[in-house]
């Protein structure tokens, strides 16, 4: 591109190329109107052999712009100028996961966190009938907020649009990257969202071990390995991988799509279920700062200090048995009888001394010669009365059993309801049954609910839900959402409200 062509739409100044892919070139650019840096993806339409490539590029712009999700790259603008189609996106500082992996395997905690974020993005895409088809480390990039963004939907498949699929992603046409292709994708078969789950399993395997599960001498050989060879156990290469994470990777890499997790939401739930106990134990995951040098330690685990042991008891020794032990109870009973016997013997000795006290005095008066070289203390005038009752043994009350820990509420139903509501709003806007700005504002409120849900803030989830429902009802009342759209959206919004009520408890 010449110097004169380095400005698109009169506002996007292309500064320098930063990447190239199958669908075009990516530039670091400046939006001269808003004075901000952006990324601009371009495709030279003159080099496209047919209309399919241009159609896929246009479709990427449409589907990515429709995705409002914290783990999907944000699209600002799109258009065609002369023979150049362009897509304007947020500029991600990186690093990409390919950059991180180049330094070696990642910490286990960071891998789990990446898996959770990518699965969340795929869940949102699959709910809209979209299949990414090229999930790989190079398409996963850290953003300025520390989150992972999924980008490059350039070869995405509209899962529910058969006509478009036949023209753009026909059977026996292989698209994607060989190391991360599902078996059905590698053999040119029809694919759905479960192909993305297989690719996610390949990504997690690569991040944990430093290499993809299959790598042959040629792309074709690699593809055939996906179709025929059993996936290696990730623990053979990364022994410190937790059993649950190794099991998740293994299920994602199942040859038969039916044997993989039911959906991306199930992957999110599986990771959340394992990470919740870690959070309760006081361990915190620290993500790499945006723009930090690739290869920096991205995850740290902070363990709480061990509390000091309790001080030794200062009171009398326990006589009663500890709770729950039968043998200590038998030993304690024997001790009680022994104590009673000792007390009885002491009582007899004291009685004998009282009886023999008078005889000793009389013998001392008759003779001044002591009968013993050991001086005996003079008997007291009053001897304590012997007691025949043994002290009652004290028995400590058994410690109460700890109450079972209440399980954290399941966020999955709320996530599902959020996805359906977001899809319904988007469909209403696309069908011109709702004001687009109003829909955009409502979808942002859904993101607030999702953010509070992700933070585990039940009160925040309820408050954000209430704000959304109030705004939605106002939009319906003001006619910004048509009665036709409201007829479809009202049950979905009610399902969301019920799911939040169940989550909050």
Catalytic residue IDs: 134
Answer yes or no: is 136 a known binding residue.
Answer: no
- What is the rounded CA–CA span in Å between residue 201 and residue 253? 6
Closest to 449 (Cα-Cα) out of 475, 421, 480: 421
Report how far Cα 68 is from the mean position of its chain's Cα atoms. 20
The tally of CA atoms less than 13 A away on the side-chain side of residue 243 is 0
- What is the rounded CA–CA span in Å between residue 22 and residue 282? 45
Distance in Å from the first CA to the final CA of the chain = 59
Conformation bin of residue 82: beta by default, left when phi > 0, alpha when psi is -120 to 50: left
Q: Could you tell me which residues come within 8 angstroms of residue 266 by beta carbon, excluding any fewer than 6 positions away?
A: none
Conformation bin of residue 428: beta by default, left when phi > 0, alpha when psi is -120 to 50: alpha
Q: Which single residue is written with the structure tokens 């109460």?
A: 400
Q: Are 503 and 459 in contact (CB under 8 A)?
A: no
The tally of CA atoms less than 13 A away on the side-chain side of residue 229 is 13
Q: Which single residue is written with the structure tokens 């000792």?
A: 342
Q: Are 159 and 63 in contact (CB under 8 A)?
A: no
Closest to 241 (Cα-Cα) out of 277, 283, 262, 210: 210
User: Which residues carry a binding-site annotation?
Assistant: 41
User: Which residues carry a binding-site annotation for ATP?
Assistant: 41
């Amino acid at each position: 591109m010449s110097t004169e062509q380095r400005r698109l739409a009169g506002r996007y100044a292309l500064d320098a190329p930063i990447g190239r892919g199958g669908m075009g070139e990516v530039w670091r650019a400046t939006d001269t109107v808003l004075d901000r840096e952006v990324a601009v993806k371009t495709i030279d339409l003159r080099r496209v052999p047919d209309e399919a490539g241009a159609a896929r590029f246009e479709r990427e712009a449409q589907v990515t712009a429709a995705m409002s999700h914290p783990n999907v790259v944000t699209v600002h603008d799109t258009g065609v100028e002369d023979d150049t189609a362009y897509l304007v996106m947020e500029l991600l500082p990186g690093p990409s996961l390919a950059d991180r992996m180049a330094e070696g395997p990642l910490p286990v905690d960071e891998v789990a966190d990446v898996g959770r974020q990518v699965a969340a993005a795929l869940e949102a895409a699959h709910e809209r009938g979209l299949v990414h088809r090229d999930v790989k480390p190079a398409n996963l990039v850290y953003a300025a907020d520390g989150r992972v963004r999924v980008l490059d939907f350039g070869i995405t498949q509209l899962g529910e649009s058969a006509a478009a699929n036949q023209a753009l992603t026909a059977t026996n046409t292989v698209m994607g990257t060989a190391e991360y292709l599902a078996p059905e994708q590698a053999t040119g078969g029809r694919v759905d969202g479960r192909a993305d789950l297989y690719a996610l399993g390949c990504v997690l395997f690569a991040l944990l071990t430093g290499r993809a599960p299959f790598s042959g001498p040629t792309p074709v050989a690699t593809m055939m390995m996906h179709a025929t060879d059993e996936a290696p156990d990730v623990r053979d290469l990364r022994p410190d991988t937790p059993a649950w994470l190794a099991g998740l990777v293994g299920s994602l890499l199942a040859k038969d799509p039916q044997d993989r997790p039911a959906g991306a939401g199930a992957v999110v739930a599986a990771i959340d279920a394992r990470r919740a106990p870690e959070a309760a134990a006081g361990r915190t995951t620290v993500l790499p700062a945006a723009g930090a040098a690739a290869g920096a330690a991205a995850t740290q685990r902070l363990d709480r200090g061990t509390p000091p042991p309790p001080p030794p008891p200062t009171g009398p020794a326990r006589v009663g048995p500890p709770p729950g032990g039968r043998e200590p109870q038998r030993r304690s009973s024997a001790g009680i009888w022994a104590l009673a016997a000792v007390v009885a013997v002491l009582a007899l000795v004291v009685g004998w001394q009282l009886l023999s006290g008078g005889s000793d005095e009389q013998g001392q008066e008759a003779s001044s010669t002591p009968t013993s070289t050991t001086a005996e203390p003079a008997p007291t005038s009053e001897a304590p009365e012997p007691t025949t009752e043994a002290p009652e043994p004290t028995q400590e009350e058994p410690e109460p059993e700890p109450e079972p820990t209440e399980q954290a509420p399941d966020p999955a139903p709320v996530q599902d309801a959020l996805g359906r509501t977001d899809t319904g709003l988007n469909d209403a806007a696309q069908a011109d049954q709702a004001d687009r700005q109003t829909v955009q504002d409502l979808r942002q409120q859904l993101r607030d609910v999702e953010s509070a849900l992700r933070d585990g803030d039940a009160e925040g989830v309820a408050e954000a839900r209430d704000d959304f429902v109030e705004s939605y009802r106002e939009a319906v009342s003001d006619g910004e959402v048509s009665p036709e759209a409201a007829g479809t959206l009202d049950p979905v919004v009610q399902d969301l409200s019920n799911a939040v009520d169940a989550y909050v408890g």
